[in-house]
Amino acid sequence: MEENNEENVLYEIKPDFNFLYEIFMPTGRKIKSTIIVIFILILLTLILVFNGASMDTFSIRITQDLTLFDLLKYIGFIALGICVVKLIVHIVIQNMQYKHISYKFYEDHMVYEDNFLNQHRKNIEYTNVKEIEIRRTIWDRILGYGVIIIYTNAENKRNGLVIYALHDPQKSYDIIYEIVHKKQKEVPTAEKISESEKEEEEFKNSIKN
C-alpha cells in the first residue's frame, strides 16, 4: 500500500528521549550496562586509591618509577575514561535514533518507520488490530512516560507493535483508540452494504430467469 500524503496524516507520534527513563527501559540497556560498569570501576578505583597504597602486594615495582599500585591506578582511570566516552556515545546515538523514528496514523492504517541507520518500516491495517494496551510502571508515572502496545491478528511472533518512550501516553492512547476503532466500526457497515447489494443482484437475476 502506498503511503498517503502528509495532509492525510491524522496523528503522528515521535518518541521523546529522557535519560532517566531510558535507564529502566529495554531500549536503554546499553546505557544502563555502561553505567553499571562505570559504577563498578569507580568503586574499585576508590578502594585501590584508599587501601591499595598501604598493601605490600601493590608495592611491587614494575619499573624503577612504576609500582603495581600505580599501574592498576592508571589502568582504572583509563578504563573509566573509555566507559564515560562510551556512555556519551550511546546517549547521543539513542537521541539521534529517536529523532528518526515516527508512528503515523492514517485513515485506514498506521506506519512505523525508523530510517536512522538500518531502515525499518512496518504497516498495520486497522482491520487487523486486535487490541490496544497502555502500560505504565510507577517510574513511568513519576516521569510522565509510558508504553503503548498495538496487538494484531498476525500468527507469527511479530504480532504487534510497541511504542516506547512516549510522553503523556494517556493522551496518545485515547487518540489512537478513537482513530482505530472508528475505522473498525465502518468496516462491518461496508460489508453489510456489499452483502445487501449482492443479494439484490441475485434477486434481480432470479427474476430475469
CATH number where 159 lies? 2.30.29
pLDDT at 4: 47
Domain-located, residue 87: yes
pLDDT at 174: 94
The burial of 78, by beta-carbon neighbours within 10 Å (0-12 exposed, 13-18 middle, 19 or more buried), is given as: exposed
Are 120 and 88 in the same domain?
Answer: no
pLDDT at 1: 45
pLDDT along the chain (209 residues), means of 10: 62 91 86 91 79 59 70 84 93 92 93 88 90 91 92 68 91 93 69 53 52
Edge to edge, the sheet with strand 11-13 lists: 11-13, 101-105, 109-114, 120-125
Are 137 and 89 in the same domain?
Answer: no
Domain-located, residue 174: yes
Number of folded domains in the chain? 2
99, 190, 205 from 193: Cα distances, Å: 43, 5, 18
Are 63 and 115 in the same domain?
Answer: no
Per the CB < 8 A criterion, the answer to whether 11 and 176 are in contact is: yes
pLDDT at 6: 53
Per the CB < 8 A criterion, the answer to whether 58 and 68 are in contact is: yes
Are 87 and 151 in the same domain?
Answer: no
Are 178 and 160 in the same domain?
Answer: yes
Are 83 and 142 in the same domain?
Answer: no
Q: For residues 3 and 122, what is the distance between their CA atoms, to the nearest angstrom?
A: 11
Q: For residues 181 and 127, what is the distance between their CA atoms, to the nearest angstrom?
A: 9
Are 121 and 201 in the same domain?
Answer: yes
| Listed residues 64, 79, 99: the one ending a domain | 99
What backbone torsions phi and psi does residue 168 show, to the nearest 5 degrees? 55, 60
pLDDT at 93: 92
Strand residue runs (E) in the chain = 11-13, 101-105, 109-114, 120-125, 129-135, 145-152, 160-167
Are 66 and 82 in the same domain?
Answer: yes
Per the CB < 8 A criterion, the answer to whether 91 and 31 are in contact is: yes
Q: What residues make up the domain containing 43?
A: 20-99
